[in-house]
Amino acid sequence: MKRTTIKDIARQLGVNPSTVSRAMKDHPDIGLTLRNEIKQLADQLHYRPNHMAVYLRQRSSRLVGLIVPEVTMFFYPSVIRGIQNVLHEHGYNLIMLPSNESLEREMENIQICYENDVAGIMLALSRYTQTSEHLAMLEEVGAPVVMFDKILDGLPYDSIVLEDFESARLAASHLIETGCRRIAGIFGNPNLRITQLRLDGFRQALQDFNLEQHADLICFSDNPYDAEKCARTFMALDSAPDGIFAMTDEIIIGALPAIATSGKKIPEECSVICISDGFLPYCLHPKVTFLHHDGYEVGRLTAQRMIDLIESGQYVNKDYRGQKIMVKARLIELATTRRRE
């Protein structure tokens, strides 16, 4: 199956390819009669310009690379939706490059972006990316970079992040304000920046309210199964918590059933709060009050910033230092939390 090219049309009409090219983009040089004739034939032959050839001539592709650590069922689907919607509006296409949480793969993905001469790169770092050495290649690519969610401070790129510290602080504060005094927290992998920030925010809240910090009421878990164990351990404690904070969707989905079946009533004996992308808390039982970390919004903002950079060309300035955009979380109260006055 051969593609129809501009040449085919030119040949059939006995005109020059350049005339066809101009006619297709309504260049005033081409007479209306001929222009229509050309367009009609183009339509008839299903002519569509070859993006790659156009790119080669114009040196600007309409492909944008998206490098993510992994496509999990949490958070990333929303982000991708947000990104796609904005990108599509502006006529850009997405090339997806999961790093499988591997540093090596992350480098390779940047390489691939370079080979395809993408117009820009959107990047969430793998969990093993603690330094920026292997990111040197990003400079080479010469395309704007926007980082999101999993970022590294000190890099000269724009970034879109959620207010991790603040959300965790607010979540814990909400538990305290509604009467909880022994608050436990279930966190993710302690090596992640995001975990540290949320842990700090959590602790800040306890400190703000002059509550004692109990080391045995903090635990870390990489997945829902471990989170379930954490929750069971908490609930089996002699002095069990009267409030539990879960750092992510992945954690609450494991922890909630354990809490619910511990014998304690939710929220009368133990309140629960989490940080979530906003879908799960509505589905789970009992419904869980949460701070909405809106992945869709992060995706939209990331793509929006990407487009701005591409089209403004700001990033070519060597001195350009990206700014960090913080996305605020909103408290969504699905569960009444007890008030003990």
C-alpha 29/C-alpha 7 separation (Å) is 19
C-alpha 186/C-alpha 199 separation (Å) is 9
C-alpha 226/C-alpha 230 separation (Å) is 6
335: contact with DNA by CB under 7 A: no
Near a copy of itself by CB under 8 A: residue from 93, 132, 196, 233: 93
334: contact with a copy of itself by CB under 8 A: no
Q: How far is CA 144 from CA 58, 67, 294, 322, in A?
A: 18, 13, 24, 10
Separation of first and last alpha carbons in the chain: 77
167: contact with DNA by CB under 7 A: no
311: contact with a copy of itself by CB under 8 A: no
The CA dihedral of 183, 184, 190, 196, to the nearest 10 degrees, is: -10
DSSP 201-260: HHHHHHHHTTPPP-GGGEEE-SSHHHHHHHHHHHHHSTT--SEEEE-SHHHHHHHHHHHH
User: Which does residue 139 touch among a copy of itself, DNA, none (CB within 5 to 8 A, set by kind)?
Assistant: a copy of itself
Q: With CB under 7 A as the contact rule, which of the stretches 55-63, 66-74, 155-163, 319-327 interacts with DNA?
A: 55-63
Near a copy of itself by CB under 8 A: residue from 7, 27, 51, 324: 51
User: In this complex, which beta carbon is closest to DNA, that of residue 58 or of residue 317?
Assistant: 58
Near a copy of itself by CB under 8 A: residue from 5, 102, 111, 204: 111
Biggest CA–CA distance in the chain, Å, is: 91
Interaction mask 69-88, a copy of itself, x per CB under 8 A: -xxxxx-xxx-xx--xx---
C-alpha 151/C-alpha 164 separation (Å) is 12
Burial grade of 65 (CB within 10 A; 0-12, 13-18, 19 or more): buried
Near DNA by CB under 7 A: residue from 1, 43, 46, 59: 59
CA 218 and chain centroid, separation: 27
Segment (H or E) for 273: strand 271-276
User: Which does residue 339 touch among DNA, a copy of itself, none (CB within 5 to 8 A, set by kind)?
Assistant: none
Near DNA by CB under 7 A: residue from 26, 36, 53, 73: 53
* Beta carbons within 8 Å of 225's beta carbon, 6+ residues apart: 254
Interaction mask 2-31, DNA, x per CB under 7 A: -x-xxx------xxxxxx-xx-xx--xxxx
- Residues within the interface to DNA (CB under 7 A): 3, 5-7, 14-19, 21-22, 24-25, 28-32, 34, 47, 49-50, 53-54, 56-59
- Residues within the interface to a copy of itself (CB under 8 A): 1-3, 46, 48-53, 55-56, 61, 63, 66, 70-74, 76-78, 80-81, 84-85, 93-98, 100, 111-112, 114-117, 137, 139-142, 224-225, 228, 253-254, 256-258, 260-261, 279, 282-286, 316
